[in-house]
Amino acid sequence: MTAICHRIPGGPEPVAPYSHAVEADGWLFVTGQIASGEAGAPLPVGIEAETRKVFDNLQFILRGLDLGLEHVVFARVYLTEFKEDYAAMNKLYRSYFAEDRLPGRTCVGVTALADGARVEIDFIARRP
């Protein structure tokens, strides 16, 4: 098995040394994304704005791999303000997926994320 490391041109600027996604045998492991944009740009304010930007980043990466949210089979969500942000993040998260295509998911509270982000999400996707 050979893994393919993907860096999507024009994709979110990595905040650490990583590929946007790694592919092995049709499985894609999309690196966790925060609400970052251009290097040095401030994060959006509020959990809804951060979550939207995280999904923008994740969808950009998926599109660069000729995939979409319908190919996501599992997600992991990390929240720094779990009690405060869980309900609002869930409401927005749900809006991105068809009701009959909600991926498996883990959501955990963490003490900190890169660049002071409040939410980070990563995906596992599968090519058809």
Report the distance separating Cα 105 and Cα 124, nearest Å: 10
Superfamily classification of domain 4-126:
RutC-like (3.30.1330.40)
Cβ count within 10 A of residue 74: 14
Farthest-apart Cα atoms in the chain, separation? 43
pLDDT bucket at 13, cuts 50 / 70 / 90: confident
Q: 7 CB contacts (<8 Å, ≥6 apart)? A: 19, 20
> Buried b / exposed e across 8-41, counting CB within 10 Å, b at 16+?
beebbeeeeeebbbebeeeebbbbbbbbbeeeee
Residues 40-49: pLDDT tens digits? 678 889 999 9
Q: What 3-state DSSP class applies to 68?
A: coil
User: What is the length of the chain?
Assistant: 128
pTM here is 0.94
Residues 58-116: pLDDT tens digits? 999 999 999 999 999 999 999 999 999 999 999 999 999 999 999 999 999 999 999 99
Domain ranges of the chain: 4-126
